[in-house]
Amino acid sequence: MALLHRPQGAPVRPVSRETPTPWLGLAMAVGGALTAWCVHRLVPAVPMLTASVVLGIAAAHLPGLRTFVRGAARPGLSLAGRRLMRMGIVLLGLGLGLDQVLRLGWATVAMVVGVVAATFLGTLWLGRRLGLPGDQPLLIATGYSICGASAIGAVSEVSGSDEEDVAASVALVTLCGTLAIGILPLLQGPLGLSDPAFGRWVGAGVHDVGQVVATAQTAGPAALGEAVLVKLMRVALLAPLVAAVAFSVRARRRGVRTASGRRPAPVPLFVLGFLAAAALRATGILPDVALEWAHTAQEALLAAALFGLGSAVHLPTLARTGGRAAALGLGAWVVVAGVSYAGVMLTV
């Protein structure tokens, strides 16, 4: 066997190590989103975004798939949970019909702001009292008060939350929002709510936009229209909430720079993109077909991102705080349902 000699003075080349590629995980996230769309088409009562989270959790625990999810696919799945989430949130701004929202009147606007504030502060306080780990109290409070998993993803971007905290919070908020689809319609009669009032209650109290639509449509088009408009008001509060969290984080980490040597931005670019998209929608220059395509793209991006987040859920770890998390979920549910009901009754 011939011996290979390095010429004298030649540089020593470092041993090459295979760099994990994100493409496998990104492809898996896209496949998960496509599967969730198929589930939604087959069973319309199951929102696409809810199906994405559930499929991601399932993929992370299936014996033949979990090694791939936690290994080769992990970089891409994590990237989907961050980058695609930001892109989806920017497009979410195009769904904000600010002119329609303002037509509901300032009393309704004040009611929604009050519901969001009471839900956020109450859930945050209760989560800390229960001793939930990491940023879970902050993330769950955000998800309950604004728009579910999308809001959790937005706040986690500026708070630098651990991926496991994000995944656990998304799982809890998604579960509770899904239960609302079956439970709230049963309460319309006993609570004496007309169809429009029921729609406002659903819009003010249910987390994810898809869950709001699935719940409100049971009471007809009048309820659905009111629910969507009130829900859009809550979505409009995402930007100021994320900005407030960003300023809070910046204040706590004053003088600290990121790994790139730059100070963290006071307001993240994707929040500015969200506001710019909402302003563009308000001009009325976008044709309906463009808005429809943007909505489709937004759903696809968020579905892929939520599949990535769901795949980070580790059920044994989640089970260790399951009792406290369940108590927080139930408590937050009571707060948002009660406060939103009182607000609706005061403004109808």
Q: Judge contact between 104 and 229, C-beta under 8 A.
A: yes
pLDDT score, position 246: 79
What does the H/E/C string look like for 226-283? HHHHHHHHHHHCHHHHHHHHHHHHHHHCCCCCCCCCCCCCCCCHHHHHHHHHHHHHHH
pLDDT score, position 200: 92
* Long-range contacts, stretch 104-107, CB < 8 angstroms, 24+ apart: 104/229, 104/230, 104/233, 105/347, 107/346, 107/347
pLDDT score, position 34: 95
pLDDT in tens, 183-217: 898 999 999 999 999 999 999 998 877 678 768 87
Sequence-ordered list of residues with C-beta below 8 angstroms from that of 69, at least 6 positions apart, any chain? 28, 59, 60, 77, 311
Q: How many residues does the chain have?
A: 348
Task: pLDDT tens for the chain, 348 residues: list them.
Answer: 444 444 444 444 444 445 567 888 899 999 999 999 999 899 887 778 778 878 888 888 888 788 888 888 888 888 887 788 778 878 877 877 666 666 777 888 899 999 999 999 999 999 999 888 888 899 999 989 988 877 888 888 788 888 778 888 887 887 787 778 778 989 999 999 999 999 999 999 988 776 787 688 778 778 877 887 888 788 888 888 888 887 887 766 554 444 444 444 555 677 678 778 888 888 888 898 998 999 889 889 988 988 887 787 767 766 665 678 888 888 888 889 999 999 999 887
Q: Judge contact between 239 and 275, C-beta under 8 A.
A: yes
In this structure, which amino acid lies at residue 115? V
Cβ neighbours of 30 (radius 10 Å): 17
